[in-house]
Chain A
Amino acid sequence: MDKDFKVEITSDVKKVTKRIAFIKDRDAARVKKVDEDMVMTFPNLVIREIIAFQVMVIVLVLISLFVDAPLEWIANPEHTPNPAKAPWYFLGLQELLHYFPPVVGGVLLPSLAVIALIVIPYFKINLKKDGLWKELPRQTLTGFLIFVGTVSLVLLLFRVYAMLVPTIIVSTFMLIPYFSKRNNIFIEWLGSRPLSWWIMTWFVIIAVVLTTIGTLFRGPEWSWTWPWQRIY
């Protein structure tokens, strides 16, 4: 191909102080078109931030006006309340302690959860966007059944029904797109979920279930108590 322009290459600014590039029409050096709509930060984003902050403060003020923060009697090491509960965000953990030995429920599982959260972006499996059954569906099914079976067995052994039931429900939904012969939008959507999506959803459901049980459904001696049976 003939060049219809001349290129002079030099880095010596004393010799060549100005450079002109002739660019032919077909490969014009115009900036690649931005494929997304851009808007000015001021006022578009700033106004949203201000509104969000104000709504948050208003809601907070309303709650604070009508609901008082709890304050019980002065701390008394001699008098243990029954049950003694940690703050709500630890009640999922406390619920775990009810099922597992302290080293497992109080140390191993929570540490594993935090470590698992931290390493999410460093594993290819979490970067995949393909649905669970897209590649090697047979092998995936075998691995899936072994894993879910083992976990369910352990949960059954320790009688952790609060974790077993969500595990079974989530696994059922995972299997639907594999076995289903019919196809509708919902099943298609289920089939397009990657493995990482399922694991996170499973984790979140269990965390929410355990925390809810620990907060609302546990009474004296950590026995099952309905929220309306609360004596204290």
Chain B
Amino acid sequence: MAGLCVASGALVAVDGGTATLKPLRGALTSGVSPLYYVAESPYLLGGRMDRLFSTHAGLRADVERLETELVELRRTAGRYRGLVAENDRLRALLGSTESLPEGVLVAEIIAILPNPARHEVVIDKGLGDSVSTGQAVVDSGGLFGQVVQSAASTSRVLLISDTTHAVPVHVNRSNLRSIAAGTGSFDRLMLESVPIASDIVPGDLLVSSGLGGRFPFGHPVGIVQSVVRDPGDDFARVEAMPSAALDRSRHVLVVREGDA
């Protein structure tokens, strides 16, 4: 028993501090992924049942709503393409490089880790779909998290709201740079080290700044909810609401920089 405890202690220390055991962990994860599917089956089945019993009128309404949304999005996308082209021309004029094109891969969340103190989910794409550690994950609202480990056909994604996670951001309006740290609650991020006299107000949009090289530039991260300036403090207390639906999204996109 003592031997097993010592072995466990050593393993935990090695696994917690280094990446030596990553291959073993990856192989084991591939082995247990069917369990995730079984555990998730009530929800997957629920979705199937909903689709099975949907009415004609309901489907028509859905299609109409989606078509309106599509027209709206096409218009935005058209404008966006124009802006990207213009931006690239201006960057060329200034002599800086063009921004890298991004490719995305749609993934479905197949499990949520059971420990409520940790915000991690498992998605159904892995090494086989060239998903690798460090890639950013977004949903339709904004930045969702990053891949922290990938196995053959599944990957674990750390959410931006986890207490151990932080993402470099800047305020879209004033270009103020900061770091948005997770708080362990799905609807709150805290901005770190914002000087008390900074130009930041509730309602400001935070986007990923691309500094640090992990997250691509320009994905919405959150909206500033409150700014508390205590004259006795050096830093303001800034809280933001994540743009992504961290506890509701079912489908997410894995962002792969460099392949469009």
Partners in one complex: no
Residues of A within 8 A of B (CB): none
